[in-house]
Structure 1
Amino acid sequence: MSATLSSPSKTPSPAPVDPVGTPPRIVPARRTGQWTAAAVVLVLVGLGLDSVVRNEAFQWDVVADYFTSTAVLRGLWLTLWLTALVMVLGFALGTLLAVMRLSANPVLRAVSWGYVWFFRSTPILVQLLFWFNIGALYPQVFGVRTVNLLSAVGVAVVGLTLHEAAYAAEVVRGGILSVERGQLEAAQSLGLGRWRRLRRIVLPQAMRSIVPPAGNMLIGTLKGTSIVSVIAVQDLLYSVQLVYHRTYQVVPLLLVATLWYVAVTSLLSVGQHYVEKHYARGTAGAR
């Protein structure tokens, strides 16, 4: 008999079976690239901050002296007051324009569209300079001299409000259009009038879409008020300019204005977060 037939057959041994319920071993993924990139970024940020703090050209002692000075605080107050007033008036007029744009009346729609088109097409600086020189076109209005009717602050309020209203109209219109059609039909079935539907049904739901861009507009308006310095309105920027024109300490005074803008903008961002959270209650965006 051959050796092949006489050799015993080799059967493969069964594979080991893990006990029932034993979880597989989880090996964490290695993120070497991510940690390396994070370390490089932190080092660069640290070097940048160190260069700013240790650089004597920034004159941080001068910044500390003028940060809470009377002139700067007066300019800051005017900036905050102007921002609040322009936002209230701008959104009031913008809401009216949005309702006109959504009206069934073609004349109202055309007027609203034309307003938004014109004021969004014209730079805000040009608008302010135009209103500042309005006396050249209309020396008198209702028997009152135009130069006495509008001061520099009045020109800033009018110019910024008209400009803001054009953007607010589109924000409000977009928010109204975001409300489901079924909500309006349900309100109509209850016999609610048009203005009551808008006030009680549409606007509360539209606020979810209105608040985020409105918050961005508020922050943009706060920073945009610095442009009124060109017509000698003593806002925050103009106030520090008056100081550094006298002391020639340009960089530290600009840092004073920058720090105040950053501080106020940060507070507004926190407020915007909580307002968004309030109107997002009951939705997937609430967090």
Structure 2
Amino acid sequence: MAELSTRGTAGLQVGRRDRAAKRRLVVMVHRSKAQIETGKAWQKLNFRSIYDHVPQQCLPWGREEIMSRKLKVFVGYDSREDIAWQVCRYSLLRHASEEIEVYPIKQTLLREVGLYSRGKDNASTEFSLTRFLTPYLAAHDGWTIFVDCDFLFTVDVKSILDQVSDEKAIYVVQHDYTPANAIKMDAQVQTSYPRKNWSSFILFNNAHPLVKALTPQVVNSETPAYLHRFSWINDDKLIGELPLRWNFLVGEYPKQDEVPAAIHYTNGGPWFTNWQNVDYGDLWLAEKDLYEEAIRADKSA
């Protein structure tokens, strides 16, 4: 595991704004240290990525020096579905042909460091709107993925980059459907709205000006509809379309002969008592077994 450098905090200026940035940095470091789980063989956390959240002017060196060139994947985290996040991350890392970075988007932590300040809402998940902070958190000009925690990956996620164009701002699977169930997950009411589930898997082109403009100020002030319907993209031609296999909605589409690349248990997965017999549920349970086996192996090593 990378050793945490102290030169970032030592190099911060003594101005009021810089002291605030330093406090945020310290909070991020200590909270991240406390949240490291076991699984050293398949999970590595580079503390330097924490510096991505500090304003450029507060750093004594360029952000490029500490930025990773790897694909970054941010997974929506919900405290009710911790095991879903763990299995999603494990499936991403297990199938990766190259090292990738996978991070949870935790609303509590984002609030603590001042990046998310909206009031409480009636959203079905804790990451309903924090997902749109993904490009800001990634802090690089490459491609970055956001994905809900209730996904299972069956292929190398980096292969998605073989089919993208730098001219697009984002890529999504452009679903057009009416939900088959009135209730989902743990008794949550199912809602229907334009472009539903487009935002459950987003491939962001962080170099695009419209993506760069998706700042915390925008995320904290605009309406949920504005964010989820991608109204911040002023030309629909800038929204690239991914094949269905990259966001296959279990229970909304017939089961496929070929296993999808990214299986989305959008109505509920096997980690919920009432959703044990869903399509591809056996694959998720098998991945969970592999994850738990890896945890046991690391603890006994």
TM-score between both structures, scaled by the size of structure 1: 0.21
Larger radius of gyration, structure 1 or 2?
Answer: 1
The structure in which a higher percent of residues are strand is 2
Q: Which has the higher contact order (CA 8 A, sep 6+)?
A: 1
Point out the structure with the larger helix share. 1
Q: TM-score, normalised by structure 2?
A: 0.21
